[in-house]
Structure 1
Amino acid sequence: RLHPGGEQLLRRRAGTDVSAALDGPPHRHSANARRWLEQYYVGELEPGDEQVPPRGRTGTGVGTGVERPGDGTYSLCGHYNHCVPPQDLVDWQKPLLWQVGYLGEKYDEWVHQPVDRPIRLFHSDFLEFLSKTAWYVVFMVWTPVVLYLSWVSYTSLAQGNTRLFSSFTTEYSIPVHKYYFPFIFLLGMVLWSLLEYLIHRFVFHMKPPASNYYLITLHFLLHGQHHKSPFDSSRLVFPPVPASLMIGFFYGVLRLLLPEVLGLSVFVGGLCGYVIYDMMHYYLHYGSPKKGTYLYGLKAYHVKHHFEHQKSGSFGISTRFWDYPFRTLIPEETFKKED
């Protein structure tokens, strides 16, 4: 399910040589994608090693293997020592948050080389618990809030007391009717999609100075952890506790800029957009959309962001719309037709 081409594509090619497929079409696999495969490396078979274990014998390999002398078990590693993963720059047995700041100039390259393993951030079990969230928690926490605030906004507008520009002039102020609520709600969703793009591009993808331990640590806490381990299922959506602080901040800004009910109506639309964004982000990592659908293309687009274009493009997640005017759209790959 993690593969952007879908599980069935991998099953169809199981047991075959995929060297040519890695170079495309439909797309060329990046250096990070090829490096990703090394995590699942089992071993190499040379001529004469293709021995099938007798029926009833247990083995550590799958399908074929090489008998280990003395213990009667089988392993695809054969006579080679390639199954040991390479050493990393950090100690994965300890919390990473306090280690990454010491990487300095090596941090930017290290954090953009994804791995398939869970991350622990904090020594404290309580803080570690608060930093993780199952995808459905976001839906369960914020959907009731969206529904309740939508009802409050609509009923408040229905009273007919809300007017736009009333703080500047009473003669030319514009009444805001309850029938405008769906359009204001949609405006909030559109504004969220823009905010999603801007935060992702300019905050989450800032490049911290190599000499600043604290900014590197902050970057890893905000987003670097996700790029290092993009399929850590407990870190794909925003935890409710820190999310509530950010949501409260944006609500306060809207209250300052707009009349109370109008600001609340825009806010609840933006909050709905945030919930959709988080749910979609999780699905783009773990879902299996049907080939040719909008979500299928969006999943492939997002995977390119993680494995090849981490710094230069594809900053839209729930939509690619803002990548067009900001010129960060990842170009489509082209392949020469063979004669």
Structure 2
Amino acid sequence: MATTASFSHRDSEDNPPHWEKKSAEVKTTHISVYPFSSALGALDFRPPCPAMGSAENGAVTSASTQKTDPAMEPKLKAVDWDKVAGTRQARMRTEEQVPTAHKHDLGQQTRAKVMDLVDWQKPLLWQVGHLGEKYDEWVHQPVTRPIRLFHSDLVEALSKTVWYSVPIIWVPLMLYLSWSYYRTLAQGNVRLFTSFTTEYSVAMPESTFPGLFMLGLLLWSLVEYLIHRFLFHMKPPNDSYYLIMLHFVMHGQHHKAPFDESRLVFPPVPASLVIAFFYVFLRLILPEAVGGTVFAGGLLGYVIYDMIHYYLHFGSPHKGSYLYHLKAHHVKHHFAHQQSGFGISTKFWDHFFHTLIPEEPHPKIQ
């Protein structure tokens, strides 16, 4: 029997939402968001009716058989739909309110709207800008296939990377900067606020290094949250071709293809530009050793963020662990609550800014 990836529906509500590979013949792997769900106050994220194929997930071999891209099969994992959509009881109550035939018709209509909007044989970046008002719905209909963004093979290669490139490139730089700026602080001639006043300037000895480094870690967690919320999840105007393209290349492509591991961490070339910006900014507003130490802490925070993000998609954390709850939080963000749950490495700022994904109440057993 051929090995393909499928989305499995778990029996236990206590299992964490995660993706896993299964060996089975499957009818379809398209993730469908039924439009009637939000109108009823509940979300239902499940594979569509087996009789339906999806052009977005690859070539449809027949009316009842859908194959995924073979290159992606080892990478695909299943979603615990109970955790994503809420409790099984809540979903069953929703289904009782909608006739089966009506739900099937609505599901067909939704899939029909998004099937032929783009040509999957061509780079997507130059097509998405033409989607206009359909872009937001289309980009949140995930597919289980890798995607191509650019015509140029070189630019396309630079837009992807393996997960371990992040620690290999940035951890040595973080260690070098930390050691270098610690030695500078140890010389005892670094003072803060000298650009404003010499009389009330503050000495910054080497004992301040741990605090400055931890400040960088904390600031990164805030930057991570703000970028994800206000930049990555901005809603581009329907009539702006280039802003739609910008949104898609920054983050929309990740929501469209969340199982493409080559696009889960920030590629080194664009990451270098962003990292250089923050380094120059801190150097301009703070003394070199102070700003550099804060930057080193922030750089470590970035590495931790990217590694956690990758693990949340492909790892299997132990039940009840910190990463277990982060994974549940992030899966819900992808498939049910795209406008909340913006923290990746921590939920602290979601608590602080009141964007935490609400927990589904567990029904009491009579």
Matched, 1:111 2:93: no
Q: Which has the larger radius of gyration?
A: 1
2:63 alignment counterpart: 81
Ranges in structure 2 where 5+ consecutive residues have no aligned partner = 9-15, 24-40, 53-61, 68-110
Q: CA RMSD in A?
A: 2.5
Change in CA separation of 1:29 and 1:150 when aligned onto 2, cut-off 3 Å: farther
Matched, 1:203 2:231: yes
Contact 2:163/2:262 (8 A) holds in 1: yes
2:285 aligned to 238, 257, 274, which one? 257
TM-superposed deviation, 1:5:
3.6
Change in CA separation of 1:9 and 1:135 when aligned onto 2, cut-off 3 Å: closer
Change in CA separation of 1:149 and 1:8 when aligned onto 2, cut-off 3 Å: closer
Q: Distance in 2 between matches of 1:296 and 1:250?
A: 31
- Aligned-residue identity in percent: 65
1:21 alignment counterpart: none
Q: Distance in 1 between matches of 2:143 and 2:333?
A: 15
Contact 1:131/1:239 (8 A) holds in 2: yes
Change in CA separation of 1:130 and 1:6 when aligned onto 2, cut-off 3 Å: closer
TM-superposed deviation, 1:88:
3.5
Q: Distance in 2 between matches of 1:319 and 1:237?
A: 17
User: What TM-score, normalized to structure 2?
Assistant: 0.73
TM-superposed deviation, 1:334:
1.0
Change in CA separation of 1:294 and 1:10 when aligned onto 2, cut-off 3 Å: farther
Stretch moving more, 93-102 or 162-171: 162-171
CA deviations over 1:101-141 (Å, ceiling 9, x no partner):
11000000110111111110011100010000100001100
TM-superposed deviation, 1:197:
0.3
Q: Distance in 1 between matches of 2:211 and 2:262?
A: 34
1:214 alignment counterpart: 242
1:240 aligned to 268, 271, 283, which one? 268
Secondary structure at the residue paired with 1:324? helix
Change in CA separation of 1:263 and 1:166 when aligned onto 2, cut-off 3 Å: same
Secondary structure at the residue paired with 1:98? helix
1:278 alignment counterpart: 306
Contact 1:160/1:177 (8 A) holds in 2: yes
1:137 alignment counterpart: 165
User: What TM-score, normalized to structure 1?
Assistant: 0.78
Q: Distance in 2 between matches of 1:8 and 1:177?
A: 50
1:316 aligned to 343, 346, 356, which one? 343
1:296 alignment counterpart: 324
TM-superposed deviation, 1:29:
9.0
Ranges in structure 1 where 5+ consecutive residues have no aligned partner = 12-27, 44-79
- Opposite residue 327 of structure 2, the aligned amino acid is K
Alignment size in residue pairs: 283
